[in-house]
């Protein structure tokens, strides 16, 4: 069983982002970047499947600028065996990421692809579903539990009303939700070891894909700010205000 | 201009509320609106759809393989329909729509817009990015515009008064890669989170699921739904589907009461459009106070029982 796992380099979740002065995009110069949190969960799950003897090889993939090597090294330090960077400066919509991943899947022939459910920069929540569509595979999205069998994988999915469990034929696509696992901290010796693991760089052209976009960002702005209100002394005052001033109860 | 297709979310018998908000977004685009109701024995949902004012035609598709709303099977059907007739395809940005719509878009070879909160015109839309810290206005050049719609950003369309025709459409061939095993749905007498007028929500500060009982009492007094922060859900105080935020549910009730929640940006992403926000927190520096209309600085284990007692005293409105 071979697993392909995707890692996106995004603005760290603790950083507050701002629009560029001219409103043309998001200011990302000189700010802390990290692995997308959902992708840490995806890598962790792959590593656990390998540690339990169910997976034999884990290939981590990132698509983007050359600095994406950093998140790939983190994935290698967590336990991935090798890494592939599809290097490009192009603006990547999820459909294009999915097309590049489709080409990589043809090349690597994994039995399982694990992605994060959502990138916390674009908040799209699309790439896994798109990849599954292009491959004609099933999609176990928003996964909070995986049980791997021989021909099938059972995926418990977080849905609006609770949980749903489905069995998907392998090979298949899974997207990781927050409660699938808790990612490990990488230890220093593993960071050192990761430096020696193979990291291959490809271009979109190597995969026969020409990046293109269908969206133009016209403007990026901050939403209207909400003003802080007042402090009230106790529950009695709160109830009086809610009843009399704003008629909310 | 080509027609607009709205994908109904339903339980075969009735429509899910978010479908009505999606219809309003479709109306803002302008054009003839058709609604797809694909399910198994879904005449009830189709009849309900036909009553929504502004819907010109309902397409009803009945087949066993649509019983569990698998995206794998629905996407083939929807892409087939969209390719023939439609310029826009919309679904609610619920777990149903988020699972389905990107798959439809990829089959059509088009980009997808997630979670739109504004319609500027037929090809330009507004959507939140970075947990709602920013709003992006984007223009879409794809021949078919596929998108999911954030329910809280659009008023619900009326559910009575329309007289659309219902047309039966044949199902697409099942893909057969997915098998349903089971569901564990959270049972509750309380209103549904995304539709509730009042939501009381707890965070790590609630301490335990027993602690949450304090909030549940207040929820019952107010006829409210119960929500939670990720920390409270991760700690197992309440079920996963209570999570409010960037990666949970997005809500905008009339009144949101947050107890023992610090106000991380990922949480605010899910509730900052609530009309009135109340925060109860023992830390007066907690960021939640920066957006709260009314704040009480104090120990929630003292404040919540007092609040409950005050609500008991309240004469009916
Ligand atoms: C990728 C990603 C996605 C995320 N998505 C979400 C999401 O969708 N929703 C979400 O909520 N979070 C999300 N988070 C987590 C978020 O960053 C915060 O960690 C989380 O919201 C914190 O929850 P909390 O406020 O309950 O806990 P804390 O931040 O620990 O705050 C607890 C608060 O309770 C107060 N308190 C404690 N005891 C008492 C008491 N006795 N009386 C009164 N007050 C008390 C404390 O003063 C504190 O302010 C996400 C994080 C990541 C990285
Ligand atoms: N450029 C990228 N490189 C690697 N993985 C990506 C990239 N973009 C998206 N992904 C994967 O797809 C998931 C969902 O992303 P999105 O659809 O953009 O929200 C992420 O969590 C990643 O696992």
**Rounded distance between C-alpha atoms, residue B105 and residue A109, angstroms:** 24
Ligand sitting nearest the alpha carbon of B215: 1
Question: Which residue on chain B is closest to A123 by alpha carbon?
Answer: B129
Q: For residue A11, what is the enclosing H or E element?
A: strand A9-11
| A168 touches B: beta carbon within 8 Å | yes
Residue to probe by mutation, ligand 2, list A95, A114, A115, most atoms within 8 Å of CB: A115
The closest CB to that of A126, out of B102, B307, B309, belongs to B102
**Rounded distance between C-alpha atoms, residue B247 and residue A44, angstroms:** 19
Distance A130 CA to ligand 2 centre (A): 11
Q: What is the DSSP string of A127-177?
A: HHHHHHHHHT--EEEEEEEEEE-SSEEEEEEEETTEEEEEEEESSEEEEE-
**Rounded distance between C-alpha atoms, residue B119 and residue B124, angstroms:** 6
Q: Which two tokens stand for residue B237?
A: 């105080």
| B70 touches A: beta carbon within 8 Å | yes
Q: Whose CA is nearest to atom 7 of ligand 2?
A: A8
Across the interface, whether the CB atoms of A138 and B247 are under 8 A apart is answered no
pLDDT at A219: 97
Q: What is the DSSP string of B123-142?
A: TEEEEEETTTTEEEEEEE--
**Rounded distance between C-alpha atoms, residue B122 and residue A105, angstroms:** 36
**Rounded distance between C-alpha atoms, residue B42 and residue B60, angstroms:** 8
pLDDT at B212: 96
Q: What are phi and psi of B235, to 5 degrees?
A: -75, -5
Q: What single DSSP character describes residue A14?
A: T
pLDDT at B317: 73
**Rounded distance between C-alpha atoms, residue A203 and residue A212, angstroms:** 14
By the 8 A CB rule, do B218 and B191 touch? no
Q: For residue B215, what is the enclosing H or E element?
A: helix B209-222
pLDDT in tens, chain B (317 residues): 799 999 999 999 999 999 999 999 999 999 999 999 999 999 999 999 999 999 999 999 999 999 999 999 999 999 999 999 899 999 999 999 999 999 999 999 999 999 999 999 999 999 999 999 999 999 999 999 999 999 999 999 999 999 999 999 999 999 999 999 999 998 889 999 999 999 999 999 999 999 999 999 999 999 999 999 999 999 999 999 999 999 999 999 999 999 999 999 999 999 999 999 999 999 999 999 999 999 999 999 999 999 999 999 998 87
Across the interface, whether the CB atoms of B254 and A248 are under 8 A apart is answered yes
Kindly provide the ipTM of the predicted complex, given to two decimals: 0.97
Q: What single DSSP character describes residue B212?
A: H
**Rounded distance between C-alpha atoms, residue B61 and residue B18, angstroms:** 20
Query: How far is the first Cα of chain B from the last one, in angstroms, to the nearest whole number?
Result: 49
Across the interface, whether the CB atoms of B134 and A219 are under 8 A apart is answered no
By the 8 A CB rule, do B38 and B76 touch? no
Neighbours of B170 (CB within 10 A): 9
**Rounded distance between C-alpha atoms, residue A137 and residue B92, angstroms:** 24
Residue pLDDT, tens place only, A140-198: 999 999 999 999 999 999 999 999 999 999 999 999 999 999 999 999 999 999 999 99
Q: What single DSSP character describes residue A66?
A: G
- Tallying the residues shown for chain B, one arrives at 317
Query: How far is the first Cα of chain A from the last one, in angstroms, to the nearest whole number?
Result: 57
Q: For residue B272, list its beta bridge partners.
A: none
Q: Which two tokens stand for residue A73?
A: 């090294």
Strands B118-121 and B124-129: antiparallel
By the 8 A CB rule, do B106 and A129 touch? yes
Burial of residue B195 (number of CB atoms within 10 Å: 0-12, 13-18, 19+): middle
By the 8 A CB rule, do A75 and A43 touch? yes
Q: What single DSSP character describes residue B242?
A: G
Q: What is the DSSP string of A204-230?
A: GGGGT-----SEEEEEEEPPPPPPP-E
Which stretches does DSSP call E strand in B54-177? 55-62, 86-92, 112-116, 118-121, 124-129, 134-140, 145-149, 165-168
The A residues from 201 to 220 touching B (CB cutoff 8 Å) are 213-220
**Rounded distance between C-alpha atoms, residue B302 and residue A61, angstroms:** 51
| B265 touches A: beta carbon within 8 Å | yes
pLDDT at B1: 75
By the 8 A CB rule, do A131 and A117 touch? no
Residue pLDDT, tens place only, A23-47: 999 998 899 999 999 999 999 999 9
| B217 touches A: beta carbon within 8 Å | no
Angle between helix axes B95-108 and B71-85 (nearest 10 degrees) is: 50
What Rg do the C-alpha atoms of chain B give, in angstroms? 21
Residues 6+ apart with CB under 8 A from B270: B243, B244, B245, B246, B248, B249, B250, B251
Q: Which residue has the tokens 């709602």?
A: B132
- pTM, two decimals, is 0.97
Across the interface, whether the CB atoms of A231 and B239 are under 8 A apart is answered no
**Rounded distance between C-alpha atoms, residue A144 and residue A175, angstroms:** 9
Top residue of B134, B148, B262 to mutate, by most chain A CBs within 10 Å, is B134
By the 8 A CB rule, do B253 and B198 touch? yes
| B42 touches A: beta carbon within 8 Å | no
**Rounded distance between C-alpha atoms, residue B93 and residue B19, angstroms:** 10
Q: For residue B89, list its beta bridge partners.
A: B5, B146
- Tallying the residues shown for chain A, one arrives at 249
């Amino acid at each position: 069983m071979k697993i392909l796992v995707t890692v996106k380099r995004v603005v760290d979740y603790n950083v507050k982002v701002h629009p560029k002065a001219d409103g043309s995009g998001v200011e990302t110069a000189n700010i802390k970047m990290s692995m997308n949190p959902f992708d840490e969960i995806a890598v962790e799950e792959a590593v656990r499947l390998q540690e339990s003897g169910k997976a034999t090889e884990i290939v981590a993939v990132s698509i983007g600028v050359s600095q994406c090597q950093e998140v790939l090294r983190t994935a290698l330090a967590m336990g991935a065996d090798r890494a592939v960077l599809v290097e490009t400066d192009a603006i990547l919509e999820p459909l294009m990421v999915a097309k590049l991943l489709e080409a990589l899947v043809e090349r690597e022939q994994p039995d399982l692809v694990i992605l994060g459910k959502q990138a916390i920069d674009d908040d799209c929540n699309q790439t896994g579903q798109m990849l599954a569509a292009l491959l004609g595979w099933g999609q176990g999205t928003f996964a909070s539990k995986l049980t791997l069998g021989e021909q099938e994988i059972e995926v418990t999915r977080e849905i609006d009303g609770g949980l749903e469990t489905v069995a998907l034929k392998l090979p298949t696509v899974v997207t990781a939700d927050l409660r699938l696992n808790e990612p490990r901290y990488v230890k220093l010796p593993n960071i050192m070891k990761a430096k020696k693991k193979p990291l291959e760089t490809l271009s979109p052209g190597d995969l026969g894909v020409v990046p293109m976009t269908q969206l133009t960002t016209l403007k990026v702005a901050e939403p209207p700010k909400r003003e802080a209100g007042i402090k009230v002394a106790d529950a009695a005052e709160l109830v009086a205000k809610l009843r009399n001033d704003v008629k909310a109860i | 201009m080509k027609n607009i297709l709205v994908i109904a979310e339903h339980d075969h018998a009735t429509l899910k509320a978010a479908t009505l908000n999606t219809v309003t977004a479709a109306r803002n685009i302008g054009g003839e609106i058709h609604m797809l109701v694909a399910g198994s024995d879904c005449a009830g949902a189709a009849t309900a759809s036909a009553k929504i004012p502004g819907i010109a035609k309902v397409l009803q598709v009945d087949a066993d393989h649509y019983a569990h709303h698998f995206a794998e099977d629905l996407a083939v059907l929807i892409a087939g329909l969209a390719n023939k007739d439609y310029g826009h395809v919309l679904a609610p940005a619920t777990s149903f729509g988020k699972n389905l719509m990107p798959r439809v878009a990829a089959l059509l070879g088009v980009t997808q817009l997630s979670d739109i909160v504004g319609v500027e015109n037929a090809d330009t839309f507004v959507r939140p990015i970075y947990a709602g810290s920013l709003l992006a206005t984007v223009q879409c050049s794809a021949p078919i515009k596929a998108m999911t719609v954030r329910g809280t950003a659009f008023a619900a369309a009326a559910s009575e008064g329309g007289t659309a025709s219902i047309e039966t459409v044949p199902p697409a061939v099942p893909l057969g890669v997915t098998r349903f095993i089971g569901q564990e749905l959270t049972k509750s007498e309380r209103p549904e989170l995304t539709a509730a007028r009042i939501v009381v929500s707890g965070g790590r500060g609630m301490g335990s699921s027993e602690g949450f009982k304090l909030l549940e009492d207040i929820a019952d007094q107010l006829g409210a739904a119960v929500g939670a922060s990720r920390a409270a859900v991760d700690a197992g105080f309440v079920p996963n589907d209570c999570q409010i935020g960037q990666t949970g549910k997005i809500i905008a009730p009339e009144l949101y009461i947050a107890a023992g929640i610090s106000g991380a940006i990922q949480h605010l992403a899910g509730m900052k459009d609530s009309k009135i926000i109340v925060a109860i927190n023992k830390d007066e520096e907690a960021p939640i106070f920066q957006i709260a209309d009314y704040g009480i600085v104090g120990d929630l284990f003292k404040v919540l029982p007092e609040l409950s007692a005050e609500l008991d005293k309240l004469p009916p409105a």
